[in-house]
Amino acid sequence: MNNFHIYEEVGRGKYSVVYKGRKKKTIDYVAVKSVEKTRRKKVLNEVRIFHNLKNRHVLKFYNWYETRNHLWIIFEYCAGGDLFQLIEQEKKV
């Protein structure tokens, strides 16, 4: 994870936190998902699924890392919130 700058939290789930990040020496932002290490089996399954998905409507998976206390998944960053927030905004219009 030394290759990334981690910025503000952009989302949170029961077992994970998603941060806005940036690969060092680039201007490209990414989503950095931090997951409790106890969820290793679930994370590896998620990585396996996203690694094989190639579709313009699905977030790009870049890589994953393991540190002493966490598993980190690097995804394409999408500004504007999550899908649920976008759906809720459309309902109000």
pLDDT mean for each 10 residues of the chain (93 residues): 92 93 94 94 93 87 94 91 78 80
The domain spans of the chain are 4-92
In this prediction, residue 78 carries a pLDDT of: 86
**Cβ proximity of 32 and 62 under 8 Å:** no
Q: Is 91 annotated as contributing to ligand binding?
A: no
How far is the C-alpha of 22 from the C-alpha of 45, rounded, in Å? Answer: 25
Coil/strand/helix, residue 39: helix
How far is the C-alpha of 58 from the C-alpha of 54, rounded, in Å? Answer: 7
- The pTM of this model reads 0.84
For domain 4-92, the CATH class is alpha beta
Beta strands 4-12 and 16-23 are antiparallel
The beta strand positions in 1-93, using DSSP E, are 4-12, 16-23, 29-36, 61-66, 70-76
Phi, psi of 76 (to 5 degrees): -60, 140
